[in-house]
Structure 1
Amino acid sequence: MKTLTLSEKELPFDLDLTFSCGQIFGWKKSGNIWKGVHNGRIITIRQDNRTIRYSGCDKKVLYHFLGLKDNIPEIYQSICTHIAKFTHEKQDLFFLERFLLSKGIRILRQDPWECLFSFICSSNSNVRTIGKRIGLLMENYGTCCSIGENLFPEPLAMGAIDEESLRKCLTGYRAPYLMGTAEYIITHPDFFLKISSLSYPDAKKELMILPGVGPKVADCVLLFGFERMEAVPVDIRIRKIITAQYQDIIPGEKGTKTLSYDTIADFCRSYFGPYAGYAQQYLFATRDVRQELSV
């Protein structure tokens, strides 16, 4: 395996936290080695303190994929500065605690198609079911690289599968979404290039044209596939955290029982600043995972 030694500016970094915090699917851990697909390649990665050992890609690809260019102390300082501005210098001890528990996380830079495919598959599911679903789709329709190892199905492959066959891969109501999205990407080959050139609001609207892509999936794709750090995916866990900890300081929302998706996401951008996506991931990573793992 090749090696990459992390410098001080590339720390903190925690491979296990990064791959287990809900931002990527289809990767599996065996011993201390993570293995999965990125940008049409099978990659293996392990971490031994400051040393990253890897195979299946070159250093430049790995460095970008793992988000190692991100300066975590600067990101944290930016978040704290915006919190202080919002609260008039009042400390947020709740967020500080969550950051200290999860500061080794990086936002991965995923392939846009693989990210989009994965998050359509992930809707309204627990971690185990998502893994089974994606595994079956890769096994049945992904290009075979070696014995027992397949890539994510390409749009052309997904567009050629009938709905009944897709449902056999545990996709359920998501089957026509996967088919429709694949067909759209096939007929609009410059779609991802277009998304990368748009502003965050316009890119989100464009993504939501796709079947099965609502606000949450669109924000996941923008954050994890396009480096839009202002994107804040709001699922039931983040909704509970924001409602419990911050509802009283959300402008005009004190006493409101149910906050809208946009209200929560807009608050996070105002409160945490341009790295609200990172802040969201710190909060998400420290949620109580016992219930969803037991399903």
Structure 2
Amino acid sequence: MIERTAPSLNLRKTLLCGQCFRWREIAPDVFSGTVGNRHLTLTQQDLPRLRQDPFWCIYFDLNTDYETLRKQLSALHPNLNKAAQHGCGIHILRQEPWETLCSFIISQNNNIPRIQGIIDRLCGETEACSPAAFQNGPAVHPFPQPETLAALSETDLAPLRCGFRARYILDAARKVADGNVNLEALRTAPLAEARAVLMQITGVGPKVADCTLLYGLHRMDAFPVDVWMKRAMGQWFPGVDPVSFGSAAGLAQQYIFDWVRSGASEEEIPG
């Protein structure tokens, strides 16, 4: 990988593009979040110092040459060129696989505030992580390990108010804890095989599996498709198979999501 400078990262686009749930914008352009047993508050101007900390440098994927990837994707389709220009600065975070799997199980048929609330309660927060709560840190509440959750029951999870997802969370925790689903092994397994392994978990379909692979295992060849993305592909990329986007298809998905969600797809972006 080619050494890159931290300013290539667009913090807002990266943290608010739907790939993570434990970050909040606590004030205009001020972001605060918990990763593992660490808590961080920063602005776009703070990015250069991230390179000095190996943990955050890896987490924000600062050593990947996103500019080259963006140019490669831009050459594949005129609308992907527009989306890639608009999404310049999006990075795929290097998140912890188990937390990512569990978080996207919770995300099913759910909205962002409710997803965040369930995850806050799962992590042992005594109150919802409002902007004020983040500002008044530095309390850190790590995501519970699968072994911890595997020993619980649906009744134990009732305070989370996660509904039908409680059964899915427990099944995922037990399969990961007992080794039936080896998340680390999925980093290098063929994509279809890795997806099939994750789909052994109750309630995990192709979309949650691909989100886990892309956002939790940094499998940029994964391209999560839900109803919304299927509609976007049909409108702006008719007849295009995401496989044609190649090894950075997941980054293309993020560009498309950001482009269409922002309304920029309705505007003329110079090619």
TM-score range, shorter chain: 0.7 to 0.9
Query: Quick one: which amino acid aligns to residue 69 of structure 2?
Result: I
Structure possessing the higher radius of gyration over alpha carbons: 1
- Indicate yes or no: 2:58 matched with 1:64: yes
Richer in strand (by share):
1
Counterpart selection for 1:116 from 82, 101, 120: 101
- Indicate yes or no: 2:66 matched with 1:75: no
1:219 match: 210
Q: Secondary structure at the match of 1:191?
A: coil
Aligned equivalents of 2:93 and 2:202: distance in 1? 24
Alpha carbons of 1:157 and 1:8: their partners in 2 closer, same or farther (altered >3 Å)? closer
Aligned equivalents of 2:193 and 2:208: distance in 1? 15
2:39 match: 43
Segments of 4+ moved more than 6 angstroms: none
Q: Secondary structure at the match of 1:239?
A: helix
Do the aligned partners of 1:35 and 1:42 also contact (CA within 8 Å) in 2? Answer: no
Report deviation, 1:212. 2.2
Alpha carbons of 1:100 and 1:78: their partners in 2 closer, same or farther (altered >3 Å)? closer
Higher relative contact order (CA 8 A, sep 6+): 2
User: Could you tell me the TM-score, scaled by structure 2's length?
Assistant: 0.83
Report deviation, 1:154. 1.3
Report deviation, 1:95. 2.7
Aligned equivalents of 2:7 and 2:72: distance in 1? 17
Do the aligned partners of 2:175 and 2:181 also contact (CA within 8 Å) in 1? Answer: no
Query: Quick one: which amino acid aligns to residue 284 of structure 1?
Result: F
2:151 match: 160
Aligned equivalents of 1:114 and 1:65: distance in 2? 14
- Range 117-126 or range 194-203, more displaced: 194-203
Counterpart selection for 1:177 from 162, 168, 174: 168
Deviations 1:165-195 (A, max 9, x none): 3133121111011011111111118812322
Q: Secondary structure at the match of 2:143?
A: coil
- Indicate yes or no: 2:80 matched with 1:107: no
Overall identity of the aligned pairs, in %: 29
Aligned-pair Cα RMSD in Å:
2.6
User: Could you tell me the TM-score, scaled by structure 1's length?
Assistant: 0.76
**Matched positions, count:** 250
Aligned equivalents of 1:9 and 1:212: distance in 2? 40
Q: Secondary structure at the match of 1:95?
A: helix
Deviations 1:65-99 (A, max 9, x none): 1011221221022213433xxxxxxxx1x333322
Aligned equivalents of 1:197 and 1:96: distance in 2? 29
- Indicate yes or no: 2:19 matched with 1:23: yes
1:268 match: 242
Deviations 1:111-146 (A, max 9, x none): 1111111111111111111111111111269xxxx8
1:245 match: 236
Report deviation, 1:148. 4.9
Q: Secondary structure at the match of 1:177?
A: helix
Counterpart selection for 1:236 from 220, 227, 250: 227
1:129 match: 114
Unaligned runs of 5+ in 2: 127-136, 264-271
Aligned equivalents of 2:236 and 2:124: distance in 1? 42
Report deviation, 1:64. 1.2
Unaligned runs of 5+ in 1: 1-6, 84-91, 251-266, 291-295
1:257 match: none
